[in-house]
A and B are shown apart, each in its own frame.
Chain A
Amino acid sequence: MSTISLAPRAALKTPPRAALEMPLRVKPILSRLDPRSRVVACLAFAAVVVVCHSLPAAAAALLPAAVLALLAGLQAGPTLRRLLALEGFMILTLFTLPFTMGGPVLFSAGGLDWGLEGTLRAALILTKGTAIALSVMALLGTLELAELGHALARLRLPARFVALFVLAARYVDVLHTEYGRLRLAMRARGFRPRASLHCWCALGHLVGMLVVGSLERAERVHAAMRLRGFDGRLHLLDEHRPGRLDWGFAAVLTVTFVLLAVLDFA
């Protein structure tokens, strides 16, 4: 695979077997966990953080989230960019809180009182949201979509839903490429996005053509699947079993949760 072609010239002199066994980057430890453990850990972490009601506990939850991000081998740049987008998003919802919750006034301007109570509450929500988002990126974001689908199946989600998820995940890429093609064709014909009725209609027609294309593709896919005896179930090919690493991970997480709970009640 690309491991060889990307390796520096010196690496090529080593025997091919060693070159294959020495990947350029160390495999992140989280990727060695059973996908199920990661889904369950993500849900448990979110549940614990959501019920935290003190700012110190919520801030402390950022630490395990950051550790998870490190263990997952997330890249700092893109992760921070996504988190910033999320913060912007949350501040839109929270900016009214300091004015509506009362409490001691920090400062007032133009007849509006900036209250302490609301500021603390907004900070609490922002911290909780950030910790959970970071853990989702670490635990679920680095999972391949097919693996995630299989983990959901093994966690006994309805088979129809899992089949829907796995198929849809497969076709996101296909349709995105198709979208890029149509968009390029529009640009070649001088289309520039502007805030106008005409432009909205044109983009609407673009999506409409995507719908037509995807329905026709669905017909072909369905015919091919029927030919192969599809009866609504997809077979699971992976054979993951929770190992020692998974139980160790669960133990560490449990201790973390207990510490967070103690901190929250203290």
Chain B
Amino acid sequence: MAHIPDGVVSVPVLLAGAGLSLGGMALGLRRLTPERLPQTAMLSALFFVASLVHFPVGVSSVHLLLGGLAGILLGWAAFPAIAVGLVLQAALFGFGGVMVFGVNLANIALPATLAGLLGRRLLARPALAGAVAAMGSVAGTAAMVALSLAASGREFLAAGQALILTYVPLMAVEAVACAAIVGLLAKVKPEALEMRP
């Protein structure tokens, strides 16, 4: 799970997350020119819808975060796009927390953007780029969620470590799915991968 509910993390962590998120949002919104607005909005709606697709894993199932894909397609604009997705989730499902919003946004969007920017350098081999961006963003999110828990108090250290384990199946699924998605895009709509970040 990528969203920490309200009441878990401590106030300094809340402030740190809010600071990181504000920085990312400022960078992202500056790149969000009116020309790119409809496309970015459509993609943030898409990330929300895709998070409703359940992928079977063993007896359970996981849903995609698609952070890596957002990073590849949008660069820093992935920050506001993911923020919109999180607000939608809170408004439609009551999920995700209010005060902890900044922390959750930073935990998902920062690794997504950085892994996506890394993935863009590998676009000569699209499937590889997709897999790398997906794994990087999920691993980064797992690490940041565990870090926010551990920084809130020593008693959460064990919970953080246990949480990282739950991300391993998601990492595998996300890598395969994202490789398939970017591979498909390279064949069907290569210009989607040529946008300037």
- Which of A's residues lie within 8 Å of B, judged by CB? 42-43, 46-47, 49-51, 82, 86, 89-90, 92-97, 99-101, 118, 121, 124-126, 128-129, 132-134, 136-137, 140-141, 143, 145, 148, 158, 160-161, 163-165, 167-172, 174-176, 179, 193-195, 197, 199-201, 203-212, 214-219, 221-222, 225, 230-232
Contact = CB atoms under 8 A, between A and B. Distances in A.
B106 to A, nearest CB: 16
A132 B81 contact: no
B49 A96 contact: no
A129 B184 CA distance: 41
Given A160-B80, A172-B49, A204-B178, A93 B158 contact: no
B8 A172 contact: no
A171 B88 CA distance: 12
Contact of B155 (A100, A207, A217): A100
Given A89-B1, A141-B92, A195 B177 contact: no
A208 B181 contact: yes
A214 B53 CA distance: 16
Contact of B1 (A82, A92, A209): A92
Contacts of B157: 100
Nearest to A118: B155
A168 B48 contact: yes
Main secondary structure of the interface of A (DSSP, over half): helix
Given A96-B158, A100-B155, A218-B39, A207 B91 contact: no
A211 B95 contact: no
A61 B19 CA distance: 28
B163 to A, nearest CB: 7
A212 B185 contact: yes
Contact of A125 (B7, B11, B38, B66): B7
A99 B154 CA distance: 12
Contact of A46 (B6, B57, B158): B6
Nearest to B188: A212
Nearest to B32: A160
Interface string B39-67: 11111111011101111111001001010
A170 B41 CA distance: 9
Nearest to B93: A82
A143 B57 CA distance: 35
Nearest to A210: B46
Contacts of B43: 211, 214-215, 218
Contact of A194 (B32, B50, B56, B80): B56
Contacts of B7: 49-50, 124-126, 128-129, 132
